[in-house]
Homo-oligomer: A and B are copies of this chain.
Amino acid sequence: MDVRTICLGILTRADATGYEIKKRVEEGGYRPFVEASFGAIYPALNKLTKDRFVSVRAEAQEKRPDRKIYSITEAGRRAFVASLMKPLTEDRHRSPFAFAMLFADLLPEQHIAQMLDAYIAHTEQALAQLQQADAKPKSQREHFANGMSQAAYAATLEYLRSHRLNGETRTAEAAE
């Protein structure tokens, strides 16, 4: 799922500037499955323009750089659908936290507890955001995708809460 495809997908819903695309990736129903940085979006839009998959119109602004508003073309729509029809690449999950947990024996116990608390807090926050986003009326598709993420986050949280790998719990479990 390269950034060009992500841009095309977002533009199938509405025209947007590069900046708006970035915002939609972060806030829309796309979180947390996709990400894209400015350093990827702007070159992607240039390439898409060259390939005639999007068109640009510049909106002049006083004392500011022009807003470049991108629209998807018919060729772009076809290319987008074609790329979704190709076998999808696998999901990727990367967790520096889980990796660090594997080396808990090399770290101070107190620091482990801190990392765990921070991770739990962060996951709670992400889940709350998803629930909040889901409260607004949405398309069935967005609800489906959002629910899938919520399910995974909720299960992770429950697991962490009941299996806290800190001093007290370790002692308690050993005593069972």
Contacts and interface: CB of A to CB of B under 8 A. Distances in A.
B98 A149 contact: yes
Interface stretch (A15-23, A37-45, A53-61, A80-88): A80-88
What is the predominant secondary structure among interface residues of chain A facing chain B?
A: helix
A12 to B, nearest CB: 7
B9 A103 contact: yes
Tallying the copies of this chain within the complex gives 2
A29 B95 CA distance: 13
B142 A102 contact: yes
A75 interface: no
Query: Number of contact residues on A: which range applies?
Result: 35 or more
A107 interface: yes
A165 B148 CA distance: 12
Contact of A93 (B1, B93, B160): B93
A115 B99 contact: no
B151 A158 contact: yes
Interface in A143-170: 144-145, 147-149, 151-152, 154-156, 158-160, 163, 165, 170
- Chain A to chain B: the 10 pairs with minimum beta-carbon distance, closest first: A155-B155, A151-B159, A1-B96, A33-B98, A33-B95, A88-B96, A151-B155, A152-B152, A91-B95, A92-B94
9 contacts: A6-B99, A9-B99, A84-B103, A84-B106, A90-B122, A92-B92, A101-B145, A140-B165, A151-B155
